[in-house]
Amino acid sequence: MLRELWNDAEGGFHPASAPDFLPETALREVQLRRLRAVVARAYEHVELFRSRLDERGLTPDSIQQLEDIQRLPFTVKTDLRDTYPFGLFASPMSDVVRLHASSGTTGKPIVVAYTREDVEVWSEVMARTFAACGMHRGDILQNAFGYGLFTGGLGAHYGGETLGATVIPISGGNTDRQIMLIRDFQVSALCCTPSYFTHMVERARELGVDLRELPLKIGIFGAEPWTDGMRKHIEAEAGIKAYDIYGLSEITGPGVASECSTQEGLHIFEDHFYPEIIDPETGEALPDGEEGELVLTTLSKKAMPMIRYRTRDITSIITEPCACGRTIRRMRRIGRRSDDMFIIRGVNVFPSQIEAALLRVEGTLPHYQIILTRAHGLDQIAVEVEVTPEVFSDKIRGLEEVRKRLAQAIEHIIGIRVELRLVEPRTIARSEGKAKRVIDRRNEG
């Protein structure tokens, strides 16, 4: 597959030849063939999967058409924990060339494995991601995703090289050096988490570097939720186009889905990752267009196939064709997970709603934290938000005005008033990877 992609005149990656543009019937044929193979592989090599199929009286031959996928059992995060570390591997360790792990929030990490072929497919889908975001051979990519057990760093690294870009493996952190290299190496594209990039933008300004005047034009961001308001902020401050990319370790890492030039939804690389949307309560499949939990099946993974993995990420499939010409389907941006919701005075609240509100109010900075506590059996919510130095120095009028407008904006979106703590710039810890937006102290002492 990879060789077919390396076919432009200069030996570079040629996106138009990628499976992104396969006619739908051909794509469905590829998917069915791969689905049958991956189910057979998992049945043969993964004890947990085989016993679940046996319990239901199913065999790999039960998959005759794509819709039959709905007969298969789900895989959930606890399955990975329960079989820690290697219980879901379908390849012998001698064929596994890479392990990654994600810490999760509690307990044992999730371990994921790749054969050489898996790494090649991952590199290919990441190259397709970068191509969809407008990158070409010759671009200079600063890769500020963390290298290590996190899939972001190495996933983007191999994808950038496969595309034919020049990759700078700087990893996350050391922000002053990041800014120096953006300038000195004439970096044209950069990838990291959106929260880390907001920090870079802020630091560049402190150092007197105007990112808008540098060749940096493409920002590729993912690994955590971020709003359109945050996108506008980033694009204006850095003079770039900011793209959203999505993925998760259990499925491969980054490279599962990516925006294209239209920035209207993320194309799912569905020749390798088969998407379904289900009702998170009942597990029933939902029709295209309806919002629910994203479930993904890896169609080509060898070392660790995932069948109907429940991602907990909430989205919907966009049915209209995309103006970019890609035929692979799109999903809406992930604004929330089914497990990051909290309930305050009976109202469901998601962190992204708070972000959306504060980005609408002038005088605030996109650095915030949500603090949950419990008093007398009742959940309390406080939002800590940094304000600009100008607002902060104008304590009486400036602060009160911002507080009033922010309280209204939040109330407008979530329906309740929250306690607001306006703090001076640089009070809230900056992240070099995924930002910690919610501090939950409800179960402390």
Residues in contact with ligand DLL by the rule CB under 6 A: 102, 145, 151-152, 222-225, 244-249, 253-254, 311, 313, 334, 337
What is the DSSP track for 46-93? -HHHHHHHHHTT--GGG--SGGGGGGSPPB-HHHHHHTTTTTT--S-G
For residue 48, list its beta bridge partners. Answer: none
| Of 91 and 129, CB closest to ligand DLL | 129
Provide the minimum distance between the beta carbon of 28 and ligand DLL in the complex, in angstroms, as a whole number: 26
Strand residue runs (E) in 93-214: 96-102, 110-115, 140-143, 166-168, 189-192
CB 179 within 8 Å of CB 212:
no
Written as six digits, the tokens of 182 are 């953006």
Provide the minimum distance between the beta carbon of 246 and ligand DLL in the complex, in angstroms, as a whole number: 4
Provide the minimum distance between the beta carbon of 339 and ligand DLL in the complex, in angstroms, as a whole number: 9
Provide the minimum distance between the beta carbon of 333 and ligand DLL in the complex, in angstroms, as a whole number: 6
Provide the minimum distance between the beta carbon of 103 and ligand DLL in the complex, in angstroms, as a whole number: 8
For residue 246, list its beta bridge partners. Answer: 257
Provide the minimum distance between the beta carbon of 60 and ligand DLL in the complex, in angstroms, as a whole number: 28
Put the strands of the sheet holding 266-268 in their side by side order.
Answer: 166-168, 140-143, 189-192, 218-222, 241-248, 253-258, 266-268, 330-331, 317-318
Say which residues have a Cβ less than 8 Å from residue 365's Cβ, sequence separation at least 6. Answer: 202, 385, 386, 387, 388, 425
Relative to beta strand 330-331, strand 317-318 is antiparallel
Q: Give dist(CA 143, CA 306) in Å, integer.
A: 28
Written as six digits, the tokens of 104 are 């999760």
Does an H or E element contain 123, and which?
helix 116-132
Provide the minimum distance between the beta carbon of 237 and ligand DLL in the complex, in angstroms, as a whole number: 19
Provide the minimum distance between the beta carbon of 426 and ligand DLL in the complex, in angstroms, as a whole number: 26
Burial of 259 (0-12, 13-18, 19+ CB in 10 A): buried
DSSP 8-state symbol, 246: E
| Of 110 and 209, CB closest to ligand DLL | 110
| Of 39 and 314, CB closest to ligand DLL | 314
Q: Nearest-CB residue to ligand DLL?
A: 222
Written as six digits, the tokens of 405 are 């407008």
Closest CA to 245 of 156, 351, 308: 156
Provide the minimum distance between the beta carbon of 95 and ligand DLL in the complex, in angstroms, as a whole number: 23
CB 277 within 8 Å of CB 286:
yes
Amino acid identity for residue 299 in this structure: L
What is the DSSP track for 399-433? HHHHHHHHHHHHHHHHSS--EEEEE-TT-SPP-SS
| Of 222 and 275, CB closest to ligand DLL | 222
Amino acid identity for residue 242 in this structure: A
Task: Read off φ and ψ for residue 364, nearest 5 degrees.
Answer: -100, 160
- The counts of H helices and E strands in the chain are 12, 21
Provide the minimum distance between the beta carbon of 24 and ligand DLL in the complex, in angstroms, as a whole number: 25
Provide the minimum distance between the beta carbon of 228 and ligand DLL in the complex, in angstroms, as a whole number: 12
